[in-house]
Copies of this chain bind each other. A is one copy, B any other.
């Protein structure tokens, strides 16, 4: 019997020979792109390795040449997606001398667009986040980082408030989550009472941004910026006890 002294205690480990590949790269890419398609169509939980290889038009065994399991493929593919869909450095450049509203709007539009154009992938994002603590953490850190610019500004923005750092974060975190539910139910679940009236991406963005702005500043954004939400200007306490 072989002196199998180094019986690794961890998982079998894919031998991942350093060899990248010449056009094996193409097959790998083909699998990743097939995975995107399958994810968009059936979501993460119903997705099977066979779906991916079939979609890619290769034999099922080939999968294991390039990936150790379904999850690692999906993680890779969705990390790519997040990176490409949420490039906020560009946003920051665009709105470099815009006001608060423009900046928020630009950020939010990125997210709304992602939901509107890739609802299946956004759903898969949530599914994977639920399964993989690692991936969930990545998304959250991403989210928190995006909030960073605002969180850091809070003390200067509202000096009299004297919010603690943590409290400022809580406020911003809660406000930033405002969109999530309606985006999910509008674009992913297509709840009928919501989609009964069609909204453009910019209208949805405006709604979410205006609500965020109101919660943060306790006033409406400049009137000339508004289209879909002009009516909300009259939405304020008057006779409220």
Contact = CB atoms under 8 A, between A and B. Distances in A.
A158 B235 contact: yes
Contacts of A196: 166
A231 B173 contact: no
A217 interface: yes
Interface core residue of A99, A176, A215 (most chain B CB under 10 Å) = A215
Interface in A202-241: 207-208, 211, 214-220, 231-237, 240-241
B179 A45 contact: no
Q: Taking chain A's interface residues, is the majority helix, strand, or loop, or is none over half, making it mixed? A: helix
A236 B219 contact: yes
A136 interface: yes
A122 to B, nearest CB: 12
Interface string A97-138: 001100000000000000000000001001100110000100
A85 interface: no
Contact of A178 (B136, B144, B177, B194): B177
Given A123-B130, A177-B177, A180-B180, A216 B235 contact: yes
A131 B43 CA distance: 10
A157 B40 CA distance: 42
A189 interface: yes
Contacts of A43: 130
A173 B178 CA distance: 9
Contacts of A144: 191, 193
Interface in A29-81: 43, 45
Contacts of A235: 158, 161, 163, 171, 216, 218
Contact of A215 (B158, B177, B215): B215
A130 to B, nearest CB: 6
A236 B173 CA distance: 17
Contacts of A178: 174-175, 177-178, 215
A160 interface: yes
A140 interface: yes
A185 interface: yes
A95 interface: no
Given A167-B231, A218-B236, A173 B160 contact: no
A181 interface: yes
